[in-house]
A and B are shown apart, each in its own frame.
Chain A
Amino acid sequence: MEGLTLSDAEQKYYSDLFSYCDIESTKKVVVNGRVLELFRAAQLPNDVVLQIMELCGATRLGYFGRSQFYIALKLVAVAQSGFPLRVESINTVKDLPLPRFVASKNEQESRHATSYSSDSENQGSYSGVIPPPPGRGQVKKGPGSHDAVQPRPAADQQEPASPVVSPQQSPPTSPHTWRKHNRHPSGGNSERPLAGPGPFWSPFGDTQSGSSAGDAVWSGQSPPPPQENWVSFADTPPTSTLLTMHPASVQDQTTVRTVASATTANEIRRQSSSYDDPWKITDEQRQYYVNQFKTIQPDLNGFIPGSAAKEFFTKSKLPILELSHIWELSDFDKDGALTLDEFCAAFHLVVARKNGYDLPEKLPESLMPKLIDLEDSADVGDQPGEVGYSGSPAEAPPSKSPSMPSLNQTWPELNQSSEWETFSERSSSSQTLTQFDSNIAPADPDTAIVHPVPIRMTPSKIHMQEMELKRTSSDHTNPTSPLLVKTSDLSEENKINSSVKFPSGNTVADGYSSSDSFPSDPEQIGSNVTRQRSHSGTSPDNTAPPPPPPRPQPSHSRSSSLDMNRTFAVTTGQQQTGAVAHPPAVPPRPQPSQAPGPSVHRPVDADGLITHTSTSPQQIPEQPNFADFSQFEVFAASNVTEEQDGEAEKHPEVLPTEKASDPATSLRIAQADGKIEEKTAASVPANVSKGTTPLAPPPKPVRRRLKSEDELRPDVDEHTQKTGVLAAVLASQPSIPRSVGKDKKAIQASIRRNKETNTVLARLNSELQQQLKDVLEERISLEVQLEQLRPFSHL
């Protein structure tokens, strides 16, 4: 018809009404019946209604198109305002309040109108009757509520006394709506008699449902309405129970009322915002929840134990299963108790459920308890395993919100940790929570990285030496040789230290040098070891396992008399191999002292050494320890001369000769067995002279005896020779290791010697065995002969 100019509020309102009436969703035509109901609800005289209908052209058209509908609504408003109904009045009447429909609805709508006219923002929900505009979360269609509207007037009477009375309501949602309507006595506008005493404790978040419309209605009202809407837990029986449940609620009423009043405006905002996030808790809701929380647990930072919470929520009359699910969702940290945030989330979920919203499978983000804001955590003292929560999710706490989402993700892993409290003292953003591991671990490289180093006494020195050796010598044949390095000789060690190129530094060396007496300075050594080890940590040998404990020095058996390991190990870079040769248990012996000990043997050895060195192809090391050449200078000379004569020929007097004659096999042997050799020199030469095999002079008198006995036997010579060799070998062995200052050549020579000795001895052994057998056979034969002869004699 005529052009219709509608204000924004009107436009919205009308469109909502239109949608409400458009139950067939035709978006074009409104059901007549519905419209008629609406008009009837406008409480206009029928003739006026008819007039309106006529004016808008519906009568003509027979249906209510959108434009007709809008016109009609406008006319209703005009009529309700008292203006004469005229076509012109549609546009002429300015500031027309929105048409009011239905007794209570009228009020709501009138309020709505006021709110709309006053609020420029679009609430999106007008009356409880009007379903929230499409697009909103769970949109509740009006029909139900509309129907509710009808019986409502009947119910209106009861209202104030019975708090939440909603006797007629079966559908869970409707009660809320109805209750709302109940709350609105037809005539009463601004007074929302909160009438009901206490019982409205149960908040009803009308955010989501059609009941949200009621909220919008409330918006223009005083506090009570939201409360009423929220009252969900009460039902008929309830009053008493409600009162019992919340004895304090009566007192709270006023407070709640005031709170509600303050929050109604927020509610509008909430509703608009809930458009996007149906689970968001509005401020007034939150405040309500907080108050409820306080009734159970005065300390806002404390917990509500599970049993109390159970009791509380059971009043909501929700099925236990749903309550259980709500609990699962809201008890974020699974501790069986509810903190303030958890409680609010749970409450909100209950309200939502009461309003007909299905419970989500997962806790919505907006309901998630925000993880502790470290700045606030100080307040959250007494929550042992609890995560401190920041402000309500609805309120965007200034510095917290940005960091919150990250906290949520880190929640699971941090859930178990109770270290948040420690971090609570730290300022900073929640990011530290995710990084608390790094915070906890102090960046102390010394404590973290360096492993404890045992401080050892003797062994440490060995270890150190071993380390040194490892570093300095790449061709250590025996890594354990350093262990054998007896640390006894400090002087040697000092020399070692000086000679050792310690890659990591001089500290160790300094330590060494500074520690003159090993036993007296174990700590230093230990520290050196530590340093050394730490150095070793940096060196390529880092992975080298700690050196094994020093090998117990075996007594010098023949095979190990030389202790080749030591000699080998110490060979490189160390001049004082003599020290190495000493068994560790032996206290450090000054070098010169070594000489006297084996000096007895030494001379011979020295002689032999000298002679052999000069004559033998073997490169016999100097063996200074064998030194005492003076005594055997003579011998040496004689040896030399006689050696020159011929190796096979040996002069009896000259031991060295024999030695000389036995260069290959018994060089050392001869040397070692100085005295004995001398003794047997006499006999030996004789035997030796016979035998071509160079043998050391048979030292043992036994052998001499044997020789005398077996002189006839050609093999005796061999025997003697062998025995001599054997004796020589045996004798030489002990003295050999005494040589000091062995270097590689000496070791090799001694090895060669020993090998030769071994072979000689083996041969000797076999030959002796053979001889023994022969002798035994002879004996037997002789005895047989004797036996044979004897009887004759007897006879």
Chain B
Amino acid sequence: MAVCIAVIAKENYPLYIRSTPTENELKFHYMVHTSLDVVDEKISAMGKALVDQRELYLGLLYPTEDYKVYGYVTNSKVKFVMVVDSSNTALRDNEIRSMFRKLHNSYTDVMCNPFYNPGDRIQSRAFENMVTSMMIQVC
């Protein structure tokens, strides 16, 4: 369902980014990059006091003509950005949330791997499989 999924580290560099139509990848990269500003805006808007209760799911970051960008932040300021096709109207908010939850779980599993150094690119096969499963329904 998602067209592009990206995992951004705390320092705003990508840990993992992948898009389905391999063409236009650069465009997706740009979209993800620009969405980071929106993410930061939303994070700061929450306020310091609400850090603990801050909702992890940020929701629709910004819609474009063809795509919608959703965001999700973990408590360690790792951001997940998902770009979905606007024509996919059947995709509801709940589904996006569940997809982010799956992403988060997989990311946690990757983190638990002692062989993974935080800050490295994510190369876990299990993670990739999970992402593929989420993106495979795009077409």
Closest 4 CB pairs of A and B: A306-B114, A310-B114, A324-B115, A336-B112
Determine whether B30 belongs to the interface, using a CB cutoff of 8 Å to chain A.
Answer: no
- Write the nearest CB–CB distance from B129 to chain A, whole angstroms: 8
Set of chain B residues within 8 Å of A325, measured between Cβ atoms: 124-125
Determine whether B91 belongs to the interface, using a CB cutoff of 8 Å to chain A.
Answer: no
Set of chain B residues within 8 Å of A310, measured between Cβ atoms: 114-115
Q: Is the CB of B113 within 8 A of A324?
A: yes
Pick 23 A–B contacts, CB within 8 A, sort by A. A306-B112, A306-B113, A306-B114, A307-B114, A309-B114, A310-B114, A314-B115, A320-B115, A321-B123, A323-B115, A325-B125, A327-B113, A327-B115, A328-B109, A328-B124, A328-B126, A331-B112, A334-B108, A334-B109, A334-B112, A335-B112, A336-B113, A361-B125
Within 8 A of B (CB), among A340-364: 361
- Write the nearest CB–CB distance from B48 to chain A, whole angstroms: 31
Within 8 A of A (CB), among B108-122: 108-109, 112-116
A324 and B123 in contact (CB under 8 A), knowing A306-B114, A310-B115? yes
- Write the nearest CB–CB distance from B126 to chain A, whole angstroms: 5
Number of A-B contacts (CB under 8 A): 38
Set of chain A residues within 8 Å of B109, measured between Cβ atoms: 328, 334
Q: Is the CB of A331 within 8 A of B113?
A: yes
Chain A residues near B (Cβ < 8 Å): 306-307, 309-310, 313-314, 320-321, 323-325, 327-328, 331, 334-336, 361
- Write the nearest CB–CB distance from B113 to chain A, whole angstroms: 5
User: Chain B residue with minimal CB distance to A309?
Assistant: B114
Set of chain A residues within 8 Å of B123, measured between Cβ atoms: 321, 324
Set of chain B residues within 8 Å of A324, measured between Cβ atoms: 113, 115-116, 123-124
User: Chain B residue with minimal CB distance to A325?
Assistant: B125
Q: Is the CB of A336 within 8 A of B124?
A: no
| Distance A761 CA – B65 CA, assembled complex (angstroms) | 73
- Write the nearest CB–CB distance from B58 to chain A, whole angstroms: 26
User: Chain A residue with minimal CB distance to B114?
Assistant: A306
Within 8 A of A (CB), among B83-139: 108-109, 112-116, 123-126, 129
Q: Is the CB of B125 within 8 A of A328?
A: yes
User: Chain B residue with minimal CB distance to A306?
Assistant: B114
Set of chain A residues within 8 Å of B129, measured between Cβ atoms: 361
| Distance A320 CA – B108 CA, assembled complex (angstroms) | 18
Q: What 20 new A-B contacts, CB under 8 Å, besides A309-B114, A320-B115?
A: A313-B115, A323-B115, A324-B113, A324-B115, A324-B124, A325-B124, A325-B125, A327-B114, A328-B109, A328-B126, A331-B112, A331-B113, A334-B108, A334-B109, A334-B112, A335-B112, A336-B113, A336-B114, A361-B125, A361-B129
User: Chain A residue with minimal CB distance to B115?
Assistant: A324
Set of chain B residues within 8 Å of A309, measured between Cβ atoms: 114
Interface residue tally of chain B, by bracket?
10 to 19
Set of chain B residues within 8 Å of A361, measured between Cβ atoms: 125, 129
Set of chain A residues within 8 Å of B125, measured between Cβ atoms: 325, 328, 361
| Distance A762 CA – B13 CA, assembled complex (angstroms) | 85
User: Chain B residue with minimal CB distance to A319?
Assistant: B115
Set of chain B residues within 8 Å of A306, measured between Cβ atoms: 112-114
- Write the nearest CB–CB distance from A576 to chain B, whole angstroms: 58
User: Chain A residue with minimal CB distance to B105?
Assistant: A334
| Distance A361 CA – B128 CA, assembled complex (angstroms) | 11
User: Chain A residue with minimal CB distance to B117?
Assistant: A320
Looking at B108, B113, B116, the one whose CB has the most chain A CB atoms below 10 A away is B113
Set of chain B residues within 8 Å of A321, measured between Cβ atoms: 123
| Distance A336 CA – B126 CA, assembled complex (angstroms) | 15
Within 8 A of A (CB), among B40-72: none
User: Chain A residue with minimal CB distance to B116?
Assistant: A324
| Distance A335 CA – B112 CA, assembled complex (angstroms) | 7
| Distance A235 CA – B20 CA, assembled complex (angstroms) | 42
User: Chain A residue with minimal CB distance to B129?
Assistant: A361
User: Chain B residue with minimal CB distance to A328?
Assistant: B126
Q: Is the CB of B114 within 8 A of A328?
A: no
- Write the nearest CB–CB distance from A324 to chain B, whole angstroms: 4
| Distance A728 CA – B126 CA, assembled complex (angstroms) | 92
| Distance A22 CA – B128 CA, assembled complex (angstroms) | 42
| Distance A307 CA – B123 CA, assembled complex (angstroms) | 19
- Write the nearest CB–CB distance from B109 to chain A, whole angstroms: 5
Set of chain A residues within 8 Å of B116, measured between Cβ atoms: 324
| Distance A321 CA – B116 CA, assembled complex (angstroms) | 8
| Distance A334 CA – B126 CA, assembled complex (angstroms) | 12
User: Chain A residue with minimal CB distance to B126?
Assistant: A328
Looking at A320, A328, A334, A335, the one whose CB has the most chain B CB atoms below 10 A away is A328
| Distance A318 CA – B109 CA, assembled complex (angstroms) | 21
| Distance A324 CA – B126 CA, assembled complex (angstroms) | 10
| Distance A19 CA – B101 CA, assembled complex (angstroms) | 54
| Distance A478 CA – B109 CA, assembled complex (angstroms) | 63
Set of chain B residues within 8 Å of A328, measured between Cβ atoms: 109, 113, 124-126
| Distance A586 CA – B38 CA, assembled complex (angstroms) | 68
| Distance A336 CA – B116 CA, assembled complex (angstroms) | 11
User: Chain A residue with minimal CB distance to B122?
Assistant: A324
| Distance A733 CA – B57 CA, assembled complex (angstroms) | 67
- Write the nearest CB–CB distance from A9 to chain B, whole angstroms: 43
Set of chain B residues within 8 Å of A335, measured between Cβ atoms: 112
| Distance A361 CA – B125 CA, assembled complex (angstroms) | 8
| Distance A288 CA – B126 CA, assembled complex (angstroms) | 29
Set of chain A residues within 8 Å of B114, measured between Cβ atoms: 306-307, 309-310, 327, 336
User: Chain A residue with minimal CB distance to B109?
Assistant: A334
| Distance A310 CA – B113 CA, assembled complex (angstroms) | 9
- Write the nearest CB–CB distance from A194 to chain B, whole angstroms: 31
| Distance A331 CA – B124 CA, assembled complex (angstroms) | 13
| Distance A121 CA – B30 CA, assembled complex (angstroms) | 65
| Distance A327 CA – B112 CA, assembled complex (angstroms) | 9
- Write the nearest CB–CB distance from A621 to chain B, whole angstroms: 63
| Distance A69 CA – B83 CA, assembled complex (angstroms) | 66
User: Chain B residue with minimal CB distance to A311?
Assistant: B114
| Distance A314 CA – B116 CA, assembled complex (angstroms) | 12
| Distance A306 CA – B125 CA, assembled complex (angstroms) | 19
- Write the nearest CB–CB distance from A384 to chain B, whole angstroms: 15
| Distance A327 CA – B115 CA, assembled complex (angstroms) | 8
- Write the nearest CB–CB distance from B108 to chain A, whole angstroms: 8
Set of chain A residues within 8 Å of B108, measured between Cβ atoms: 334
| Distance A310 CA – B112 CA, assembled complex (angstroms) | 12
| Distance A335 CA – B111 CA, assembled complex (angstroms) | 10
| Distance A324 CA – B113 CA, assembled complex (angstroms) | 7
Looking at A307, A309, A314, A336, the one whose CB has the most chain B CB atoms below 10 A away is A336
User: Chain B residue with minimal CB distance to A314?
Assistant: B115
| Distance A335 CA – B125 CA, assembled complex (angstroms) | 18
Set of chain A residues within 8 Å of B126, measured between Cβ atoms: 328
Set of chain B residues within 8 Å of A307, measured between Cβ atoms: 114
- Write the nearest CB–CB distance from A175 to chain B, whole angstroms: 22
Set of chain B residues within 8 Å of A334, measured between Cβ atoms: 108-109, 112
| Distance A323 CA – B115 CA, assembled complex (angstroms) | 7
User: Chain A residue with minimal CB distance to B113?
Assistant: A327
Set of chain A residues within 8 Å of B115, measured between Cβ atoms: 310, 313-314, 320, 323-324, 327
